[in-house]
Amino acid sequence: MTSNIQLSPTSLGIFKAADIAPGSIEKCNTLLDINHEKYHIFFQDPAFHNHMAHSLLTNLSLGATPQEIEDRFNDLVPIQREIPDIDQVLLKDLGNPESFYNAIGQIHQYHTFLEFFKGEILVKGWKEVLQTFLFARTKLANRMLAQLLEGVYHPLIHLGFGVEFEQPAIIAEALAQAASHDRMNIEDLFFEAENLASKTKAQQIQKPKPLIELLSEVRASETIRNGPRWSDLGGKMKNGVIGRAGDALAKIASQFAIRDDDHEDLERRTAEMISVCAYLVGSVLRKDRKRKLDFFVMHAVNSSIFCTVLIRQDWIKLEDKIRLIEWKGRLDLAWYAAEGCPSLDDVAISNYTGSSEMDWQDLYSAARNECDDGHVSKFVRALKHGENETKPYEDGEWGTYFPMKGDMWLKLARICLDTTKGLPWEVKWVWFAGFNEAWQRPDLQL
């Protein structure tokens, strides 16, 4: 497998929001190849993610010109660090599943994992490699699938881009990122919830609880609500949610279940998950503070488009697609808990009137020209995708399961742009929006 990125006009993803500008594919290929060869997937310890590929591919699909793509690349160059050296001894051992398993979680071994996966893909092809390392249900594959959802969904996002644009090199990056990522112990939640669901699934799916209702149950649980503490800092998921409230959360999360052997149910519940996570991000409103969206839960939306990408792959077994979406929905519940279970305002999105003159094309253009690390453009693109995917379910039998209706998608995209435009990265978002302490920043005072 060549290390070069080779985007093609015939493989530009599941959702192209705008026409591709002349020269943009070539520019994107060049810059993505530089990123692949030169830069670490983590620009800073312990696990600060390199968003270069995300930003360039998203803005390409939003119609960015070659200059806009280069500008977004240059936004991120100053913070990058060089890719680490390859550990030749470990590289030889990674073909042994037990050695691989024991090496998981070592960030400094990213390049070693990358080289390993490039070699595997060269010999076997990327679909077979993904089947082996994510969906085979071996001890190693189970762990790697959980690792895919670590790091606030980032390996899933990266893999989604690789599969969507059919780029083996980016798929190798994603697998290496998953393998080298540190842990928040979310696999404990996945396996416990899966075990509980296996005992009650037949009963649950006769009339499944809406995911939006499960959010309310999470907030109503004193154990879960008091699990994460502000003093946990970045450990709110690992120490607070999983560490102090994992059993309580697993009981609720296990109720998000999809019917076995039912592709229609998989499609509907994937769309439901997309609707609910968008509503979750946009419905947190502090009327005594400036409007902001939560940084962590925002990633639930940014990753949701890639759930659609993956469930549309005909080479992935239906039962593995179902497992992935169940884990994603359960993780969304966990991140709601980690952000402090903020109250959700039913009209926080629908009553928004800002930037009412901006349509989707205006938003794409504005996002492309924003000095950003890709979060805004990914969010806007994922929202438009969400609008498309959920529209068939907004009314009728399943309408109450889908809280995002009509122009709420467009309004939420406007909220995102209005609350981030022209601001330094560190103040574009609020961190852990359910905690009063998160809103004490001077820039958030009215």
pLDDT tens for each residue of 146-205: 999 999 999 999 999 999 999 999 999 999 999 999 999 999 999 999 999 998 776 666
Q: pLDDT tens digit string along 14-27?
A: 877 778 889 999 99
pLDDT above 70 covers what percent of the chain? 98
d(CA 24, CA 14): 18
DSSP string, 384-404: HHHHHHHGGGSSGGGGGG---
Q: What is the mean pLDDT of residues 42-51?
A: 94
What pTM does this model have? 0.97
Taking residues 313-338, what's their average pLDDT?
99
pLDDT of 445 reads 97
What is the reported pLDDT for 1?
45
Say if residue 273's pLDDT is above 50.
yes
**pLDDT value at residue 356:** 98
The number of residues in the chain equals: 446
Name every residue whose Cβ is closer than 8 Å to that of residue 18 and which is 6 or more positions away in sequence.
Answer: 61, 62, 63, 361, 364
State pLDDT tens for residues 131-143: 999 999 999 999 9
Backbone angles phi, psi at 359, to 5 degrees: -95, -175
Q: How high does pLDDT run on average in the chain?
A: 96
Give the model's pLDDT for residue 18: 72
φ/ψ of residue 82, rounded to 5:
-65, 150
Which pLDDT does position 2 carry in this prediction?
52
pLDDT of residue 4: 82
What does R_g of the chain's alpha carbons equal in angstroms? 21
| Domain definitions of the chain by residue range | 24-79, 88-180, 186-444
51 CB-near residues (< 8 Å, 6+ apart): 76, 373, 374, 375
What's the rounded Cα separation, in Å, for the pair 113 and 118?
Answer: 9
Percentage of the chain modeled with pLDDT above 90: 92
Residue 78 has pLDDT above 70, yes or no: yes
DSSP 8-state assignment for residue 258:
-
